Amino acid sequence: MRYISFHKDTSVFTLHTKTSMYQMQVGRYGTLLHLYYGDDLGDARIIHSIVNLDRGFSGNPYEADRDRKFSLDVLPQEYTAEGNGDYRIQGIEAEHEDGSHVLQLKYDSHEIRKGKYALAGLPAMFAGEDEAETLEIVLKDELSGLCVKLLYGVLWDCDIITRTVEVVNRGKTNITLRRVMSAELDFPKRPMDMVHFYGRHSMERLTERQPLHHGIQSVESKRGISSHHHNPAVIFCDHTATEDYGECFGIAFVYSGNFICQAELDQVDQTRVVMGIHPYQFAWTLKPGESFVAPEAAMSYSGTGLETLSHHFHDGFREHLIRSSYVKRPRPILVNNWEATYFEFNEEKLYGIAKAARDVGLEMFVLDDGWFGKRDSDYTGLGDWYVNEEKIHGGLPKLVKKIRKLGLKFGIWLEPEMVSEDSDLYRKHPDWCLRVPGRLPVRSRSQLNLDVTKKEVRDYIMEQIFKVIDSCQADYIKWDVNRALGNVYSQGVEAGKQGEVFHRHMLGVYDMMERLIGRYPNLLFETCAGGGGRYDAGMLYYSPQIWCSDNTDAADRLEIHYGTSFFYPISTFGAHVSVCPNHQTGRTTSLRTRGIVAGAGTFGYELDLEHMDEGEKKAATSQIAQFKASEELVQQGDYYRLSAPGDRSNSVFWEFVSKDKRDVLVAGVVLRSEVNPPVNLLRFRGLEPNLIYRERESGEEYSGAVLMKAGLALPVTSEDYESVVYRFEAKGEFESEKKR
């Protein structure tokens, strides 16, 4: 089956996925026009969608002569450049040696090939040769010799089209790139909403939906990380779109550093969307023969609502982005000591927590911050990756040996990208951090960023980390980063190339992570950035799970998980049961509710198990068994958002349905206890209407149609934040269907 075709008579390119179609055309004067993105229309070529009109104050290319109806200022295009009479947001901006910024990008050539392109040094989706195809279109600026290669990867089975750009200087002079977007997408006139996921530290990926207005709207990060504040994944949808109705377009950036996504509603009600590396402090000079490769963006379309769009990204990321063997394997259920001890512990205390973990059925103990260097607070020690034997007498191997004798695996926390000024490493190598010469640095969490653009820095840090991992044969690594980038100046980069440092820093981080998973392919790797500050598709290329937020409060996690679920698989949500009153909010929720919320994620514990009473330990043992029984369904099933934080249902409920639709888990939380409450009906989705579903605990039986159309009445609760769980399994056809 061919996923990509080129029709010579009309110069139309068509890209097909399972349910969608994307189309573009080489138009007049070599302009690459965008025609269509939406439902699959078979062999249709949508060339009639291009309508040329004379628009006042919209310039016309010189070669158009007296044809005032041809203007790039209003034409839908695939990839645009500054200086051509198109005043909208652009894909690329380049500065020539003479100071000019004009590029006239014309179609030069194309190639269609089997398989999916790969990106050296950058995360990207992957596929087998028979699972995907690649389209490469070359646009060229004749005067300067600058070539822009547009790369499209079509992953048919998950309805995803990936995009990136390679810029090659085939001219004779230096060219400085000031802006290189990875994807650009033009929409015809249509009313649309923009859905994005904003937040802050400990309240990440909250959902905001607003109609597009005339002008430019953007979400972005200039922090050197994708950030807690805006996520690099955005949805554009019909005003009327719901979970199971309407057209939706999603775009996710497969990158973990500075980004920008802009949407501009123009003078004639067309919308242009661009996504790529943020132009802030970005300047990349290409000498003749050199090239620059932009990170990847992944796009998907759904004609049947938001949940279908989520399923495309969930399946696509699980099958074609996450490389870890744990993507389809059960993961050890762990306890992390951080909220139990913070920096105050010794080996006896750690062993006590591990022993209690064994007794309730947990499978791994994770040692968090405070085990290395002179690390009694967050003011000291980062960069000194050797064990603090004043806390852990006899070193890590001795402690780990005792923990393994309990039958537990062992994991450890690291923060490889950072350094404390009060550390042996900083005293020896103060030039190894990002810092502007002659200026006092900006601190954050009392630490500085290591300059991982330098190979010698990466080599040293990874060598120390490898020694630690080898000494204890760690089964799990939690890789944290607890500040944004600041003082962004590298003493290893010449003054004229400081505009490359942000991106080179991110490439350095990826190099370090690639070394880690290359050396330890069976390691369970979890990334973290003060919780969810780097929760993006780029990180999932290296780690199968990300610590979702430093906020472990079950009530707040309902909102955090809800927003995160629009793009990211539930199996990637790092989620733990913690103590109450919660350390972040002071709120108290039941152990049952905390377990159910954490169970919509990777599931684990982060509390002092030794201080649990016998009833709590018994409940934890039951929670662990219940999660193990549903883990495969949670990791691999289709996910449905049945109710949302803030809607009128006074609840947040979600649903997992197995691919064969025979296994169903519905769980959620009723937020507030009410006097004389209304009856809220919970309507399921994604079931087979003609199957009978039996609820395991009650034994009650319902057809799939009844559960989806009539629903179940939620129980009346007597306390705030009470949780509810249903587990159904299909028996067979509904009786009335058999009679037919």
Q: Which two tokens stand for residue 417?
A: 């990208």
Split at pLDDT 50, 70, 90, the class of 735 is low
Please name the amino acid found at residue 224: G
Please name the amino acid found at residue 686: G
**Residue length of the chain:** 740
536 has catalytic annotation: yes
Rounded percentage of the chain residues whose pLDDT exceeds 70: 99
Q: What is the pLDDT of residue 737?
A: 46
Among the listed residues 40, 616, 632, 695, the single catalytic one is: 616
User: Do the Cβ atoms of 327 and 314 come closer than 8 Å?
Assistant: no
Three-state secondary structure of 426-442: HHHCHHHECCCCCCCCC
CB atoms within 10 A of CB 659: 11
Which residues 6+ apart lie within 8 Å of 358 measured at CB? 406, 407, 408
Residue 454 has pLDDT above 70, yes or no: yes
User: Do the Cβ atoms of 493 and 451 come closer than 8 Å?
Assistant: no
| Cα distance between residue 463 and residue 459, in whole Å | 6
Residue 736 has pLDDT above 90, yes or no: no
Residue 558 has pLDDT above 60, yes or no: yes
Split at pLDDT 50, 70, 90, the class of 2 is confident
Phi, psi of 316 (to 5 degrees): -65, -45
Q: What is the pLDDT of residue 733?
A: 67
User: Do the Cβ atoms of 141 and 105 come closer than 8 Å?
Assistant: yes
* Torsion-angle region of 154 (φ positive above 0: left; ψ -120 to 50: alpha; else: beta): beta
Q: CA 317, 319, 324: angle at the middle one, nearest 5?
A: 85
How large is the average pLDDT for residues 332-347? 97
Residue 427 has pLDDT above 80, yes or no: yes
Least confident of 8-22, 307-321, 523-537, 723-737: 723-737
Q: What is the mean pLDDT of the chain?
A: 96
How large is the average pLDDT for residues 567-578? 98
How large is the average pLDDT for residues 531-549? 98
pLDDT digits 0-9 by tens, 251-297: 999 999 999 999 999 999 999 999 999 999 999 999 999 999 999 99
pLDDT digits 0-9 by tens, 611-628: 999 999 999 999 999 999
Q: What is the pLDDT of residue 740?
A: 38
Distances in whole angstroms, Cα of residue 188 to Cα of each of 72, 387, 467: 14, 60, 57
Q: What is the pLDDT of residue 77?
A: 97
Domain limits of the chain? 4-320, 325-641, 651-739
How large is the average pLDDT for residues 385-401? 95
Tell me the DSSP string of 110-178: EEEEES----TTS------TTTEEEEEEEEEETTT-EEEEEEEEEEGGGTEEEEEEEEEE-SSS-EEEE
Q: What is the pLDDT of residue 549?
A: 98
Report the relative pairing of strands 32-39 and 701-703 from DSSP bridges. Answer: unpaired
| Cα distance between residue 663 and residue 371, in whole Å | 43
614 has catalytic annotation: no
Distances in whole angstroms, Cα of residue 722 to Cα of each of 2, 671, 719: 51, 7, 6
Provide the β-strand partners of residue 606: 578
Tell me the DSSP string of 677-697: PPPPEE---S--TTEEEEETT
Q: Which two tokens stand for residue 33?
A: 């026009």
How large is the average pLDDT for residues 523-530? 98
Q: What is the pLDDT of residue 425?
A: 98
Among the listed residues 536, 638, 663, 688, the single catalytic one is: 536
Three-state DSSP at 719 gives: coil
Provide the β-strand partners of residue 38: 21
Distances in whole angstroms, Cα of residue 483 to Cα of each of 286, 419, 529, 629: 31, 11, 8, 38
Report the relative pairing of strands 524-527 and 545-547 from DSSP bridges. Answer: parallel
pLDDT digits 0-9 by tens, 635-691: 999 999 999 998 888 999 999 999 999 999 999 999 999 999 999 999 999 999 999
Strands (E), 548-662: 573-574, 577-578, 604-606, 638-641, 651-657
Q: What is the pLDDT of residue 732?
A: 76
Residue 739 has pLDDT above 60, yes or no: no
Q: Which CATH superfamily is domain 651-739 in?
A: Golgi alpha-mannosidase II (2.60.40.1180)
Please name the amino acid found at residue 306: L
Can you name the CATH fold of 325-641? TIM Barrel (3.20.20)
Split at pLDDT 50, 70, 90, the class of 83 is confident
Three-state secondary structure of 331-383: CCCEEECHHHHCCCCCHHHHHHHHHHHHHHCCCEEEECCCCECCCCCCCECCC
**Which architecture, in CATH terms, is 4-320?**
Distorted Sandwich (2.70)
Residue 112 has pLDDT above 70, yes or no: yes
Residue 620: which of 324, 353, 401, 389 has the closest Cα?
A: 353
Residue 169: which of 274, 284, 258 has the closest Cα?
A: 284
Please name the amino acid found at residue 464: Q
| Cα distance between residue 334 and residue 478, in whole Å | 12
User: Do the Cβ atoms of 296 and 125 come closer than 8 Å?
Assistant: yes
pLDDT digits 0-9 by tens, 121-174: 999 999 999 999 999 999 999 999 999 999 999 999 999 999 999 999 999 999
Q: What is the pLDDT of residue 647?
A: 86
| Cα distance between residue 414 and residue 371, in whole Å | 10
Tell me the DSSP string of 485-515: --S---TTS-GGGGGGHHHHHHHHHHHHHHH
User: Do the Cβ atoms of 406 and 362 come closer than 8 Å?
Assistant: no
